[in-house]
Structure 1
């Protein structure tokens, strides 16, 4: 195999997870899990990846299924808990929930991990990403239900725990070591 063909094969292999994700997203959007949905999803994925060329995203090549399952379970529990808390804060006539904009410094230096952390934090009711400082690796979140500095610190630690869970599930070995050693904390 020539070096050019080998490089092309490696590029296709690295982009395969994103391609599969586009096909799955297409089937979810249509609510159909049929052969026709798969075929049209492939056509749409090819079209999207060829017309809207984006720089290749380097994956870590490491996936830990156990920590991935832990992340999914913890995420669903956090969504449920957040939904109940926001609902209670909405109907509680006694107390108006405090709000804050907090800065959360991340410990890893990877755009994909930062994106995953931001999306996860935004999907949990009660918090929303309002700004990202990519150069300094800081997420700015609007959160509700905070009354004190300890609540702010708790929210900050919660987002950093999500970062750690994501790194354990799909991060590189260097990122995993940075999380374990506590390095990179600002």
Structure 2
């Protein structure tokens, strides 16, 4: 119920920001929409965020941001080179990588980090077996261990300290 209340408040504030109106009819519709949103999608949110349990995890998150931004920058230049090259040197494919992350939030962060990095896209997550399937613009190795080292390890090493 706490999640629904928080989601209702956030949805209503967003409604007010989008409509920029305090007329009675607009407020009534906004409350209705916020209630509908809160009840329809509140189950999609993670109920417990591990960051709140140990404050040192915030420091690891602050460390993760520049690492992530650096990897994105490198990948941007790599993709720009490949797209601009006359021979279009790509070797696209889907690789299976192993992850040690177990929490839903950790897996989501890892999959999103991979997707937000140009040249890679998280296609599927097998939570039970601990695999992610990644579409990669330039597959360097299809072996699970080597692909994991190249694509996942740089993010997972830090994300484990944040979410596990």
Give your verdict on TM over 0.5. Answer: yes
Residues 164, 49 of structure 1: CA spacing in aligned structure 2 closer, same or farther, 3 A cutoff?
farther
- Equivalent in 45, 51, 68 of residue 75 of structure 1: 68
- Equivalent in 17, 34, 37 of residue 48 of structure 1: 37
Question: Which segments of 5 or more consecutive residues in structure 1 lack a partner in the other structure?
Answer: 1-10, 176-186
Q: How does 1:14-163 map to 2 (within 5 A)?
A: 15=3, 19=7, 26=14, 47-54=36-43, 57-60=47-50, 61-63=53-55, 64-94=57-87, 96-148=89-141, 153=146, 155-157=147-149, 158-163=151-156
Q: Tell me, in whole angstroms, the C-alpha distance in 2 between the residues paired with 1:130 and 1:145.
A: 15
Q: Deviation string for 1:125-157 (max 9, x for gaps)?
A: 01011222122121000112234468x82x422
Contact in 2 for aligned 1:104/1:160 (Cα 8 Å): no
CA RMSD of aligned residues (A): 3.5
Q: Which runs of 4+ in 1 moved over 6 A?
A: none
Q: Tell me, in whole angstroms, the C-alpha distance in 1 between the residues paired with 2:120 and 2:80.
A: 14
TM-score, normalised to structure 2, is 0.69
TM-score, normalised to structure 1, is 0.62
Q: Tell me, in whole angstroms, the C-alpha distance in 2 between the residues paired with 1:141 and 1:65.
A: 28
Contact in 1 for aligned 2:93/2:139 (Cα 8 Å): yes
